[in-house]
Structure formats: structure tokens, C-alpha cells
Amino acid sequence: MTALVWFRNDLRSLDHAALSAAVAAGPCRAIYFLCQAQLDEHGIAPIRRHYLRRALQALAEQLAELGIPFDIIDAAHFRHVPKMLADYCQQYGIAQVFAHEELLVDEMQRDAACKQALSIPLTLLDDCLIHPSLGTKDDGSAYKVFTPYSRRARQRLREHFPRVLPRPQAQAAATATTRIEAFGEERDSDPWPVTENAVLDQLREFCAQRAVKYSDQRNFPAVDGTSRLSAALALGVISPRQCLARLQLECGEAVWDAKSSAGNWFNELLWREFYRQVAFHFPQVVKGRAFQADTERLRWRNKREHFAAWQAGETGYPIVDAGMRQLAQTGWMHNRLRMVTASFLCKHLHIDWRWGERHFLEQLIDADFASNNGGWQWAASTGTDAVPYFRIFNPTTQSQRFDADGEFIKQFIPELRELSGKALHQPENVAGYPQAIVDHKESRETCLALFQEIRD
Ligand SMILES: Cc1cc2nc3c(=O)[nH]c(=O)nc-3n(C[C@H](O)[C@H](O)[C@H](O)COP(=O)(O)OP(=O)(O)OC[C@H]3O[C@@H](n4cnc5c(N)ncnc54)[C@H](O)[C@@H]3O)c2cc1C
């Protein structure tokens, strides 16, 4: 009997429970549904599209080595998947389908529809570091605050260290692969490693050399102090379990100490899990709603010209503009700058966080719905464990603290190359560079008033 493994955002052959189960169940085939029309609807970034195609190509080559036939099918949209999957299973005499569980509400509905459409079992396996149903409080309710969640998650993972599954044995002689053609507008993602081996090398290098310096370096955008594994994690080219296992191998017990540098990096992996469990337990956030319902009453100003200036990196605040230009030019942005630019959009320009959320999804190579939504709602003070509304980043202070010499700013804003000190962080009348589009103090007061309105 033939088994089928259905790949989703888990484009790897190592540590893949669904692939291992399908191979164990008999000769196996593999499938991936490309939902092109849906990708267009969601405005997937051209760089992300290119990275996805490369990841699929790398997976196809890996599966060919294992002798597993792999079909990529354009289903246009999620809603067509159940019927197409049922037809495929009939055509190839499939006896059982294996896939990893996806935890967003639309994906769960799609899977429920697939189960109904199929006359054979669809087995969904856990692909989390810690499944949302396990990372709960003693009374079974979901955590809304990160710190206690992370404490519980760390303790559980220490007691039940997740196993990393090996790549399954080849089931037949290697086969040839065909080239996967572009499916829409693309932008070069070649600087981002995409094969499993290359991404594992990247992980090993980070854990062996840089994890110990992570706490000291992670906030400085001019320093290559973070792992840059987010694109690979978002498409599942690598699993968070592989990350944790490698970190522990290199850094030992320090992993469990949240105050150590290695523990600090592990914490970031837990933020990723935290936002996944938020999306699972509080599905309103997936439907475009604020987690804190009262913040739906905020009267955002939503000035289009301000939004355009923010997108273009033309606000007159160097750290904000450098971050936005990094995003536009490279398809990625440093975490410190994601926080600063998101905060600036919501709290200085008083623009609805959903506008920014959408813009990031349309630009980022590592776009990930749960993490992006979590990050935006955190910055806008509308989410779980969000920054308090009265804590408003001062973009000039952020700039002075995290890019004191302007090394990063100058990389993306050549107009400011000759400046230093106050003139760099608060430029005025610089040829080719805009004046600040809003005044920090006034914007701050307006923001406080907007939040006060809904608290009254
Ligand atoms: C407004 C905003 C939007 C964001 N949008 C996304 C997004 O679409 N996709 C995305 O992967 N991350 C997002 N993040 C989180 C974070 O900025 C990126 O994960 C990080 O910058 C990626 O760089 P890295 O791989 O070098 O991270 P590292 O610092 O090396 O961290 C390791 C991994 O942990 C995870 N991680 C790190 N920080 C966070 C965090 N705050 N929340 C959730 N996961 C985290 C990522 O998977 C990351 O690859 C967003 C943050 C903010 C404030």
C-alpha cells in the first residue's frame, strides 16, 4: 500500500515526523500544493517567492535521492485542496496520508475539509517545539504573558527533551529531478542559504561561535549578532527542535539558564512558539482582530502620506528610515529595527498596526503570520503581553543607543554619511534627506491621548 506525505511549511527531510511515518508505512510518494492565487492575494514578497521555489527545488532533490516521487500541484487556492488531494489519492492508490499539523484557523479548517473528502486516514503529526495544548497553565488555560509561558515551556522541554528524527532511508534508487519554474514575480534570494546542509552549517556556526555573544550583540543592527535563520525556520527548512538540539550540544546546560546568552537565544525560539500558541488559542488575532478588544476603538489617524513616507524610509528619523530601507533593499530587517519602525508607525504616525503588518508580510523573506502578528500587536500595545501603551520608543534615543556611530544608518542612508553625533541622529536641513515629518514630543502626546480616550 502506498503512503503519501504532504509537505507544507516543513520543507525538509531531516526531523520530519510525517515523512518518517509515511516511509515506515510503505512505499511513499510526496506532494506539495502550491496555492498561487492565494499567494498573490496575500501579497507574498517576491524575495520570499524565490526562496520558496529554491526550497522546493532543494527538497525535490533530497527526495529524489531517497527515491521518493514528488509532485508539486498548483491548487490555486486552499478551498480546492480537499478535492484535489482526494483525486490524487485515488489516482495513485494511496492508503494513508501523513502531514504535520498546522495551527492557524484557516489551515485547520482546510485539514478538516480534507479529512471529510478523503476515504482514507489523514494523520496529522505535531511539528512544534512545544504543542499549544501542552504549553498551558495547570488549569489548562492558555498563557497570555510570555515570561511564565517560557518558564513552563523551558521546564517541560528540559524534562522531555525533543527527539530529532534522522532522515529516512532511501526507499528506491535515486531518481532525476526537474527544474521548478518560477511562479510569479521573484527577487533574488541567493544570499540566503536554502539547502538543508547549508542551513545546518549556518546553525552550527551560530551555535558554536556566536550564541555565547548573542546577548551582547543582538540589539545592534550594524553587528552580525543574530542567527539569520528566520527565513529557513519560516518555511521549515529547519525545525526549532534541530535548533534547540544543536544549541544544547554546543552550549550545554547554559541553554536552560534564561539569563545566559545561549538561554537568551533559546528564549527567542520560545517567543516564536508563544505567538503560535496565541494564534491557536485566540484565533481572533488571525482574523485581523486585536487581542485586547478595547483597542479596536482606537481612532488611528491613518494618513496615507505618512504611511508612504514610512514605507519609503523618508520620515526624517534616521534609525526608522535605515530600517525601512533595509527591508526594502534586502527583504529582511533586524529585530531591534522591527520594534522601532513598528512602534514609530503606530505611536508616532498613529497608523493602524494592520497596515504595517500587511506591509511587512509583503516585504519579508521570513514572513510568518503568527510571529509578525505577535510583533505588531506587541508594538501597538494591542496584543498579549504587549508593551504598555505609555512606553513609546524615542527614535532618536534608540538611534543613539543602538547605532551610536551611525555605521548601520550610513549603510542605508548615504545622504548622512558625512555626519556624526547629534547632527547624524537628529539631522536638519541635510540635502537630499527629508526633515522629520512629525515632532516626537507632539506625536507622543497624541498617542497617549488616543489610548486615554479608550481607557476613559
Ligand atoms: C513588528 C515585528 C514583526 C516581525 N515579523 C516577523 C516575521 O514575519 N517572521 C519572523 O520569523 N519573525 C518576525 N519577527 C520577530 C523577529 O524580528 C525575527 O524573527 C528576527 O529578527 C529574525 O532574525 P534572526 O533569525 O537573526 O533571529 P534570532 O535573533 O537569531 O532568533 C532566532 C529565531 O527565533 C525566532 N524569533 C526571534 N525573535 C522573535 C520574536 N520576537 N518573535 C517571534 N520569533 C522570534 C525567529 O524564528 C528567529 O529566526 C517580528 C518582530 C517584530 C517586532
pLDDT tens, residue by residue, 350-377: 999 999 999 999 999 999 999 999 999 9
Does 432 score more than 80 pLDDT? yes
The atom of ligand 1 lying closest to the CA of 269 is: 34
The pLDDT assigned to 226 comes to 98
The closest alpha carbon to 149, from 282, 277, 284, 281, belongs to 277
- Residue 372 Cα, ligand 1 centroid: separation in angstroms? 8
**364 grid coordinates:** 519579508
Kindly report, residue by residue over 380-426, the tens digit of the pLDDT.
999 998 789 999 999 999 999 999 999 999 999 999 999 999 999 99
Q: How far is the CA of 425 from the centre of ligand 1 (A)?
A: 26
Which residue among the candidates 335, 362, 394, 415 is catalytic per the annotation?
335
396: left (phi over 0), alpha (psi -120 to 50) or beta: alpha
Atom of ligand 1 nearest to the CA of 206: 30
* pLDDT value, residue 135: 82
Ligand 1 neighbour 375 (Cβ under 6 A): yes
Given a contact cutoff of 8 angstroms between Cβ atoms, the answer to whether 27 and 3 are in contact is yes
pLDDT the model gives residue 90: 97
Concerning whether 300 is annotated as a catalytic residue, the answer is yes
pLDDT bracket for residue 69 (50, 70, 90): very high
pLDDT at position 89 is: 98
Active site residue 376: yes
Whether 335 is a known active-site residue: answer yes
CB 226 less than 6 A from any atom of ligand 1: yes
265 is catalytic: no
Residue 234 Cα, ligand 1 centroid: separation in angstroms? 10
From 37-51, 271-285, 341-355, the region with the lowest mean pLDDT? 37-51
* Percent of the chain predicted with pLDDT > 90: 93
pLDDT score, position 26: 87
Is the pLDDT confidence value at 456 over 80?
no
The dihedral region occupied by 26, where left means phi > 0, alpha psi between -120 and 50, and beta the remainder, is left
Question: Closest ligand 1 atom, CA of 356?
Answer: 1
Residue 108 binned pLDDT confidence (cut-offs 50, 70, 90) = very high
Average pLDDT of span 48-64: 97
Q: 29 alpha carbon to ligand 1 midpoint, in Å?
A: 33
Q: Is 271 a catalytic residue?
A: yes
pLDDT band at residue 41 using 50, 70 and 90 as cut-offs:
confident
Bridge partners of 31, per DSSP, are 6, 71
Report d(CA 246, CA 14) in Å as an integer.
Answer: 14
Distance in Å, CA 179 to ligand 1 centroid = 31
Give the confidence band of 178 by pLDDT, cuts at 50, 70, 90: confident
Active site residue 445: no
Report which of 145, 124, 125 is spatially closest to residue 135, judged by C-alpha positions.
145
Other C-beta atoms lying within 10 Å of the C-beta of residue 177? 16
**C-alpha to C-alpha distance for 278 and 286, rounded to whole angstroms:** 9
Share of the chain above pLDDT 70, in %: 100
Q: Is 384 in the pocket of ligand 1 (CB under 6 A)?
A: no
Ligand 1 neighbourhood includes 268 CB (under 6 angstroms): yes
Catalytic residue among 6, 192, 271, 332: 271
With a 6 Å cutoff on the Cβ, whether 366 touches ligand 1 is: yes
**According to the model, what pLDDT value does residue 433 have?**
98
Average model confidence (pLDDT) for the chain? 96
15-19, 73-77, 119-123, 230-234: which has the minimum mean pLDDT?
A: 73-77
pLDDT of residue 354: 98
User: With bands split at pLDDT 50, 70 and 90, how would you rate the model's confidence at 308?
Assistant: very high
Q: Is the CB of 371 under 6 A from ligand 1?
A: yes
229 in contact with ligand 1, CB cutoff 6 A: yes
- Tell me the DSSP string of 249-299: HHHGGGGG-TTSHHHHHHHHHHHHHHHHHHHHH-GGGGGT--SSGGGGG--
Does the predicted interface ipTM exceed a cut of 0.85? yes
pLDDT of residue 326: 98
Q: For ligand 1, is residue 230 a contact (CB within 6 Å)?
A: yes
Report all structural domains of the chain as residue ranges with CATH numbers, in order of start. 2-127 (3.40.50.620), 128-164+195-281 (1.25.40.80), 293-455 (1.10.579.10)
**Catalytic one among 61, 102, 107, 268?**
268
Whether 236 has a pLDDT exceeding 90, the answer reads yes
* 344 pocket-lining for ligand 1 (C-beta < 6 Å): no
